[in-house]
A and B are shown apart, each in its own frame.
Chain A
Amino acid sequence: MSEQSMGEAAMSPRSRAIAYLEMKQSGRFQGGREKNVKTPLVPEKVRRAAPLVETVEAYEQMIDRMGNKGYEGSQKMLADLRPAAYEAAQIAQFGARLADIALTAVVIPFAMRGSLLTKGVGMWATMRYRPVEWAVGKMAKVGGAVVTSEAVAPIVNKILHGGERVKPGEPAPVAV
């Protein structure tokens, strides 16, 4: 047994699976055509390169807490950041929502993508002052909920539209 396989054997099934994804994720962003994408336009977790701004971590923590503070709370947290960080934070937030749109477009049939683009991009541009929950609901509505009677549909939807709050068996987000 190799050292690596012995190490894997000592891990829990969940740890083995997630460790593998971490490795693949890291490799994907360190090589290939994406390796040159090192700009302030992609959130730090995506770039996996030199730090963008000192406040990226603060921004991510803020995003994590926004769901608990509602619209006014989240805006106050944004305003508390330094002005430069405020703009960077909003761009990162927009980037995350842009990823929602892109993943939605991958899911829907090719023939429908044109109309999704028109609606989705237009809507995305108006999301600046909206809370995360509103944006998630809107994007779920534009993309259409995953059409399946499977009990797992709410989880699939959350993976695509609200990943960090995905929980087993949680109800689907309410479209606005």
Chain B
Amino acid sequence: MNTTNQSFESRLTDIVVKIEKSGWTDEDKEAMYAKISEYLHESVLPIILQHAPSEEVKAMAADASKATVDAYIELMKKPLSDPKLYEELNTATQEVLDDIETALSKGGIA
């Protein structure tokens, strides 16, 4: 990881500035933004689930009839109240930003 002292928001902003200043077409930029957003969003849910009560997760996963919206909300309230979750999310999202910066360099955006 290269720049953990810089905030997530600051790093993400820098990345967007680089893309905007690149010679890429709007279509290419749009595709990259969509991929970045997808990757960031996908990186957080597995970590949230790791902080949910494992027995409840297993029970819900094993029986689809138990996977109601109300049950899901109750399940997710617990991990969202755990301060450690945000430390892990911060680490994970910084790693994703590392990947994005490497991807941009492969795409000719320094």
Contacts and interface: CB of A to CB of B under 8 A. Distances in A.
Interface of A: 8, 12-14, 16-18, 20-22, 24-25, 28-29, 33-34, 37-43, 45-46, 53, 84, 87-88, 90-91, 94-96, 98-103, 105-107, 110, 113, 117, 120-121, 124-125, 128, 146, 148, 150-153, 155-156, 158-160, 162-164, 166-169
6 contacts: A17-B104, A94-B76, A98-B48, A98-B76, A156-B9, A166-B33
A93 B23 CA distance: 35
A159 B8 contact: no
Given A156-B9, A159-B33, A168-B20, A45 B46 contact: no
Contact of A102 (B48, B50, B108): B48
Given A18-B103, A39-B57, A155 B33 contact: yes
A24 B32 CA distance: 14
Interface residues of B, number: 63
Interface of A is mostly: helix
Given A41-B60, A41-B75, A163 B38 contact: yes
Interface string B32-46: 111111111111111
Contact of A163 (B34, B46, B77): B34
B33 A90 contact: no
B32 A18 contact: yes
B100 to A, nearest CB: 7
B26 interface: yes
Contacts of A98: 45, 48, 76, 80
Contacts of A87: 67-69
B33 A158 contact: yes
Contacts of B38: 25, 45, 163-164
B80 A17 contact: no
B107 A41 contact: no
Nearest to B17: A152
Contacts of B29: 168
A37 B86 CA distance: 18
Nearest to B108: A13
A113 B80 CA distance: 10
Nearest to B77: A121
Contacts of B43: 28
Nearest to A146: B9
